[in-house]
Amino acid sequence: MNTDTRISPVSAPGLRRELGLASTTAAVIGGIIAVGIFLTPAGMAKALGSPLWLLVVWLAVGAMTLSGALCYGELAGRFPRAGGAYIYLQESYGPRTAFLYGWMCLLVMDPAVAASFATGIGGYFGYIRHLSPILIKLLGVGVIWALCLLNIFSIRVSAGFLRWVTWLKLGLLGFLTVWAVVFRLGSWSNFVPFVAQRHGSMPLAPALGVGLVGAFFSFAGWWDVGKIAGEVRDPGRNLPRALLFGVLAVTAVYIVVSAVFLYLVPLEKVTSDQTFVAQAGEVLFGPTGGMVFAAIVIICLLGSLAALIMFAPRVYYAMANDGLFLKAVARTHPRFGTPANAIAIQGCIASLLVFAGSFEQIISYALFIVILFLGITVAGLFVLRPRQQAGESVILTPGYPLTPLAFLTLVALMLVLVAARTPRAALLGVVVVLAGLPVYEVFQSKKPGAPVVGEPKPELPLPEEI
């Protein structure tokens, strides 16, 4: 297996390695921090009823997320090609498992999440400008296609836009923190008692379950950065570092923002996620606080949508290159060198879901299966390590095997909690993914000289360094 990760202008026919560490780190952060940072802390704080336990949950999930990110860093270094988990699953378990993951991304999760972000942008903008429901949908679709066209035009320009939006997002969250503390708009007494649970909170065991689920999904999206590995310079070095820096930064942001919200609004006055944000906005900015927060949320959602539209099409592109999707999707734009057809497919499906308004149900079906694939992907390290050849240059996961085991423990816990909360949705998600098996057989049967499932494919040599 060729693990040469030297800087080269292309990683496969048409794709250009143009993204450095700053852009890749911004993609990690931008893909994670969305509207959840404003909504999740309220539910977690209300359930736990203790600032200490809220801090413990953020730190625990942040540490376990970091362990998963380190595992993905090794996988990205081993297989620095476009597609992310699709490539890792293919190399670990064969093309069938990889196709089912790609099927889930294409028809279930990615377009639904994109539609959710776009509708959120339209909805919050509509709150500011009092738009009608149809204008909100049109605005959402317009944002999707603006970002799609930007990604078709240039990966470098779209990465620059994402980098700018991400730093703006972090700057605004930092501004909220400084504004609240400097002008003493809250009270430190809101943190007392610091350890004991307050009256009205849930018993500790179920409260920890609520907190863990909320924190886990607040970190969702970090794993997608591997999908653009084919366009990252020196991916064996930059991708693991971007994942490390990105997850650490997001953990710090979540802890600080949660603390600021508690500083502004006593737990006793928290009734729901939405009212919590409105209360914090009013304390910070007076009667216009709701609109100010709506503008900040729009920027956070815009960054996450930009990251998703950058990441997701690379999976469809990789599937098409393997003969497991439409041949046209494997083509890159002759001038811009981007997977234009894959990006267009993403935009079309997401736009349809915006108008249909059914994306929330689709996301609920996909949650269980997304977590399952996440665990299977990390478990692939135990399959790949014995195959490692002497002399391979790969940045290995520190603390192996404890590091992947720690993350798999979190994944197992999330699977149990999600299945217990929504068993019907979890079962339907599994059924939808398994429905991709006959589709896989159709594509596989059309491939000339199809390899045996599980048989390693010859690696395409990277062009010489220039």
> With 60 as the cut, is the pLDDT of residue 466 above it?
no
Query: What confidence tens digit (pLDDT) does each residue in 194-248 have?
Result: 999 888 889 999 999 989 999 998 999 999 999 998 889 888 889 999 999 999 9
Q: Is 130 left (phi over 0), alpha (psi -120 to 50) or beta?
A: left
Please provide residue 221's backbone torsions phi and psi, each rounded to the nearest 5 degrees. Answer: 110, -15
- 3-class secondary structure per residue, 379-418: HHHHHHHHHCCCCCCCCCCCCCCHHHHHHHHHHHHHHHHH
State how beta strands 15-16 and 10-12 pair. Answer: antiparallel
8 Å CB contact between 5 and 80: yes
> With 60 as the cut, is the pLDDT of residue 96 above it?
yes
What secondary structure does DSSP assign to 93-123, as a single string? Answer: H-HHHHHHHHHHIIIIIHHHHHHHHHHHHHH
Structure token pair of residue 385: 């390590």
Expressed in percent and rounded to 5, the helix, strand and coil fractions of the chain are: 75, 0, 25
For residue 347, how far is the Cα from the chain centroid?
18
Mean pLDDT of the chain: 87
pTM above 0.75, yes or no: yes
Taking the C-alpha atoms of residue 116 and residue 370, their distance in angstroms, rounded to an integer, is 16
> With 60 as the cut, is the pLDDT of residue 438 above it?
yes
> Residue 11 has what pLDDT?
42
Taking the C-alpha atoms of residue 103 and residue 87, their distance in angstroms, rounded to an integer, is 13
Query: What confidence tens digit (pLDDT) does each residue in 143-161 have?
Result: 999 999 999 998 889 999 9
Taking the C-alpha atoms of residue 150 and residue 35, their distance in angstroms, rounded to an integer, is 23
Which run of H or of E encompasses 82? Answer: none
Higher pLDDT, 278 or 323: 323
Which of 178, 191, 166 is CA-nearest to residue 284? 178
Task: For residue 207, give every residue at least 6 positions away whose Cβ sits within 8 Å of its Cβ, in sequence order, or none.
Answer: 47, 48, 49, 53, 197, 201
Higher pLDDT, 367 or 465: 367
> With 80 as the cut, is the pLDDT of residue 20 above it?
yes
8 Å CB contact between 235 and 5: yes
Give percent of the chain above pLDDT 90: 60
Please state, as a whole number, how many other Cβ atoms lie within 10 Å of the Cβ of residue 43: 17
Location of structure tokens 């297996």 = 1
8 Å CB contact between 147 and 301: no
> Residue 448 has what pLDDT?
66
> With 70 as the cut, is the pLDDT of residue 5 above it?
no
Amino acid code (one letter) for 65: T
Please provide residue 11's backbone torsions phi and psi, each rounded to the nearest 5 degrees. Answer: -115, -20
> Residue 230 has what pLDDT?
87
Query: What confidence tens digit (pLDDT) does each residue in 388-412 have?
Result: 776 566 778 899 999 999 999 999 9
Assigned CATH topology for domain 10-388+421-445: Amino acid/polyamine transporter I (1.20.1740)
